[in-house]
Structure formats: C-alpha cells, structure tokens
C-alpha cells in the first residue's frame, strides 16, 4: 500500500509538470524555436517517465528526476542571466511557478527511494481502477486554474508577445512617420549607456492614448537582423504623459550590440524601421 500511494503521487507530480510544459510550448516557441521544441520534448519525456513509474522501474523515477532537475536549472538560468537568444525572463510566470512546485515535490519524494520499496501483493479492487482517472482529473484541476492565472497575467501585462526571429524579420516595417501618426510615439534616441552594458531607448509620447495601445505589448530590439533582445518584464507603461520621454533599457549581456549596430524597435507584431545605435 505504501508504494501505491507514493507511486500515484509521483505520477501526478511528473505528469502535472509535463502537462504544464506542453501548455506553455506555443509561447516558448514564439520566444525561441529551440525552446519550444525542448518544452515539448519535456512533455513526452514526462509521459515515458510516468510509464516507468507505473511499472515500478527505477529508470522511470530517474528519468523523472533528470527532467525535474533540468527544468529547475533552466528556470533559474532563465530568470538570472537569460537563456540563449533571450534576455532574463520574469520569475513570476504562472506555468513555471506551478511546474517548479511539482518538480521540487517530486525530487523530495525521491528521498524515500520508492523504487526499492517492496510492494504488497496486488489485490484486485475496483477502487484501484479509479486511481489513474483520478490522477488525470487532479492534473486537469490544477492545470485549469494555472491557465486562467496565466491568462489574467497576460491581460494585465502584455497584450501581444514578440514572435520568433524569423517572424519578426518578415514583419513589414513601420516608418517613423507612421509610428508618430498611428501610435503617437516619436523615437528620439537609441544609444549605448552604462559602460556599453545597456541600450538606452528613449520615446517621446505625442499621444498618450495611442501610445498606450502599442506600449502595452512586449518590446524587443532586432539587432542586425540576427537576434532579438527582449525588454525586461518590468518595463510597463501604464501612466503616459504627453510630450514626456519614456525610457526603456535593453540588456546587452552576452550580446554583440555596439555603437554602429543596426537595430529595429519591436512591439508585439509591430516592427519600426531600423536606426543606428549611437
């Protein structure tokens, strides 16, 4: 009985983490295609690990441990220095928070070394037949409010996310004059600052109402048509004042942005014509 409880608990945790990774795969792919593929691979790995756990195989528990540990390392990497091709991301990301919680509990469960627990002889019972449906129901009940939380976080934060590098490069350019007329924003400066460690982007707000529509979207810099630098999540523009300057800072850690680089400012699905970094 003891192993059955641990087994079903482990199954629930690893499947929950895998399912949440799958739910976040589309957003991950839009940030960077390789990240989307990794997230989907994590989901399938979780399914395989769950099958091993179900059959009381040590490799199933170990595969789950590798997936959980790898995911935790990736999460810490992402919120500190940023994953390859990406700037550091927000730590308070709904899917990540719930998934990390499940993975931490799973790793703590391994302290019991469940694959070595001797299981009592199996006795056929109708209640055991309900275990798997119950586990799937719990996974769904946890995933649904997580989805709603993520949806709410997106609504109060960014309206549109920046797409993949390929998608951004194929997006038609918005001229400076159109940026002013349609979105009420004048791009006044793009320059290196803080000992060339940060790109300082300054926007003059001509029409706060028009500008707010665009500035609610996720921002990025397309550099030399080669890579994207995403603006830190903390940059939100809820209070805009006419004829005032809004400043945005883009990190250059592990990047090759320098004076003379050609950059395009991107907001969601809008890409502004290029200008040279001063």
Top-confidence residue, 114 or 207: 207
Name the pLDDT band for 144 (thresholds 50, 70, 90).
low
Residue 267, pLDDT score: 87
Beta carbons of 78 and 84 less than 8 angstroms apart: no
Q: What gap in Å lies between CA 246 and CA 23, rounded to an integer?
A: 34
| Alpha-carbon torsion, ordered 202, 205, 211, 215, to 10 deg | 30
For range 183-206, the mean pLDDT: 85
What percent of the chain is modeled with pLDDT above 90?
15
In this predicted structure, which of 24-33, 37-46, 163-172 has the lowest mean pLDDT?
A: 24-33
Confidence check: pLDDT of 120 > 60: no
Name the pLDDT band for 49 (thresholds 50, 70, 90).
very high
Residue 239, pLDDT score: 63
For range 178-199, the mean pLDDT: 85
For range 41-69, the mean pLDDT: 91
Q: What gap in Å lies between CA 150 and CA 173, rounded to an integer?
A: 30
Confidence check: pLDDT of 194 > 70: yes
What percent of the chain is modeled with pLDDT above 70?
77
Name the pLDDT band for 136 (thresholds 50, 70, 90).
low
For range 139-150, the mean pLDDT: 66
In this predicted structure, which of 37-41, 203-207, 241-245, 251-255 has the lowest mean pLDDT?
A: 251-255
Name the pLDDT band for 94 (thresholds 50, 70, 90).
confident
Token pair listed for 269: 């699905």
Average pLDDT, the chain: 79
Name the pLDDT band for 129 (thresholds 50, 70, 90).
low
Confidence check: pLDDT of 87 > 80: no
Beta carbons of 131 and 3 less than 8 angstroms apart: no
Q: What gap in Å lies between CA 15 and CA 42, rounded to an integer?
A: 10
Question: Three-state SS string across the chain, please?
Answer: CHHHHHHHHHHHHHHHHHHHHHHCHHHHHHHCHHHHHHHHHHHHHHHHHHHHHHCCCHHHHHHHHHHHHHHHHHHHHHHHCCCCCCCCCCCCCHHHHHHHHHHHHHHHHHHHCHHHCCCCCCCCCCCHHHHHHHHHHHHHHHHHHHHHHHHHHHHHCCCCCCCCHHHHHCCCEECHHHHHHHHCEEEEEEEEECCCCEEEEEEEECCHHHHHHHHCCCEEEEECCCEEEECCCCCCCCCCCCCCEEEEEEECCCCCCCCCCEEEEEECCEEECCEECC
Q: What gap in Å lies between CA 108 and CA 248, rounded to an integer?
A: 41
Residue 135, pLDDT score: 67
Kind of pairing between the strands at 270-272 and 245-251: unpaired
Confidence check: pLDDT of 5 > 90: no
Kind of pairing between the strands at 173-174 and 270-272: parallel
In this predicted structure, which of 17-21, 127-131, 189-193 has the lowest mean pLDDT?
A: 127-131
Angle at which helices 58-80 and 2-23 pack, to 10 degrees? 40
Residue 93, pLDDT score: 75
């Amino acid at each position: 009985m003891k192993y059955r409880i641990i087994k079903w608990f482990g199954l629930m945790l690893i499947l929950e983490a895998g399912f949440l990774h799958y739910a976040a795969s589309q957003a991950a792919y839009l940030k960077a295609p390789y990240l989307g593929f990794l997230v989907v691979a994590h989901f399938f790995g979780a399914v395989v690990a769950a099958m091993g756990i179900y059959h009381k195989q040590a490799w199933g528990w170990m595969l789950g441990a590798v997936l959980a540990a790898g995911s935790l390392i990736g999460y810490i990497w992402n919120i500190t220095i940023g994953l390859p091709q990406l700037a550091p991301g927000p730590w308070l990301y709904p899917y990540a928070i719930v998934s990390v919680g499940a993975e931490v509990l799973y790793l703590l469960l391994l302290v019991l070394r469940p694959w070595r627990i001797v299981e009592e002889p199996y006795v056929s019972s109708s209640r055991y037949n309900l275990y798997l449906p119950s586990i799937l129901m719990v996974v769904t009940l946890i995933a649904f409010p997580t989805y709603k939380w993520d949806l709410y976080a997106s609504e109060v934060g960014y309206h549109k996310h920046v797409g993949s590098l390929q998608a951004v490069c194929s997006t038609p350019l918005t001229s400076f004059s159109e940026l002013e007329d349609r979105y009420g924003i004048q791009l006044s400066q793009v320059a290196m600052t803080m000992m060339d460690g940060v790109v300082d982007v300054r926007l003059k707000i001509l029409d706060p109402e028009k500008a707010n529509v665009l500035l609610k979207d996720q921002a990025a810099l397309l550099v030399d048509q080669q890579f994207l630098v995403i603006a830190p999540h903390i940059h939100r523009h809820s209070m805009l004042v006419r004829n005032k300057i809004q400043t945005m800072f883009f990190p250059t850690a592990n990047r090759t942005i320098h004076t003379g680089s050609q950059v395009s400012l991107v907001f969601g699905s809008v890409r502004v014509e290029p200008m040279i970094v001063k």
